[in-house]
Structure 1
Amino acid sequence: MFTVFRGGRSGAWRVTRFAPVKGASLSPTPALSVVHTLSITLPILPSPTAWRLAGVASHLRYTERAEKTQLDAVRAEIGRPEATLAALIPIKKSAAWWELAQEERRQIFEDRSHHIAASLRYLPAIARQLYHSRDLGEPFDFLTWFEYAPEHAEAFEELVRTLRATEEWRYVEREMDIRLERERLDAG
């Protein structure tokens, strides 16, 4: 199953902030739609799309059994009614990152940057889903999607600051930070 994020004039999510963090920007848009589909190619819809990014949720990489167990214990589902804020953070890593062997990337990712350990304290308040895009020929390697309630907005900012201060982030050559808001979903 593919997930396609489309920036345009309409969508369930209203863009509240659109910021290039590193590298080239995408075109700013007022809205974002998220579509889950069996095909990476979507039909042309009446609302023009400025850009589209596709990815696929996959198995966890760089994660050891104990870490997976910890993550599973505090995992929050995407789509919770109270999670009216979201962030789409597409990331492209440098050729130097991909030239490393997988165990070298793991050492940077967790042993030195503590990516999983640092993130655990923000879960389950912040739901997250990683979509892989690199092997699909997309412009970004990863599409990171986060959802959270307004009362957890500062915790999300702290999480982002923490991850961007790591050794791992030095390998990022392109990153966008798109913040979003939607109306609260009815709980039943």
Structure 2
Amino acid sequence: MQDSPVTAEPAVPAPPTRRPARRRWPIIALVLVCLTLPAAALAVQNPGWFSRSSGQPGALPDRLRIPLAEQAVSALENAPQIEHLGHDEDNAGPRRVMCTADPFGIDPPDAATVAEVRWVYAQHLCVIGQPGLPWDYATKSAGPVAVGLGNPPVVRLPVPQIDYRTQVRQLIPARYQPMAFGSFAHPQLVASLRQRYNHEVASKKTS
């Protein structure tokens, strides 16, 4: 009797040895450090660089924004374009002109001090009214403005009966136009102006 042939079972390959995953995070961290060092160096040399380059509303550092706002307000409150608003509507007596401004841009754009700034670009709000006139009924001017800080200062505003957006593009450099078509980056300035007007003008009795 012949023995039955023995069929050899196919060899099962051993599972591959898993190599431990390489820890790549030290390399990634090194790359990130190399990329951030140049920007950090720029920030140390010129702390206002990021804010001036961000292109966001309110990006001017306070050391420029606050004193430039004061100069813009002074120019606006003495500008003929503002002073003559609404003269045909209310001739009941002396009027007060009160303004606020929120600068969002400057020219030259890399000016580091107030003395270097030649033009200020800002959102403005001016209110004009006689004593006793409520805020809601007072004449107002609002929107983007270009103020030249010469002697005397120059105020440039969009005028009625001409396409508004075209005028703004002509007044405001392209880098600042997104902010020009926006609103106040610091709305507390508007609230403060309204409080001042109510206290100093609206609350006063007419003689």
Bigger helix fraction: 2
TM-score by length of 2: 0.25
TM-score by length of 1: 0.27
Which structure has more relative contact order (CA 8 Å, sep 6+)? It is 1
Bigger strand fraction: 1
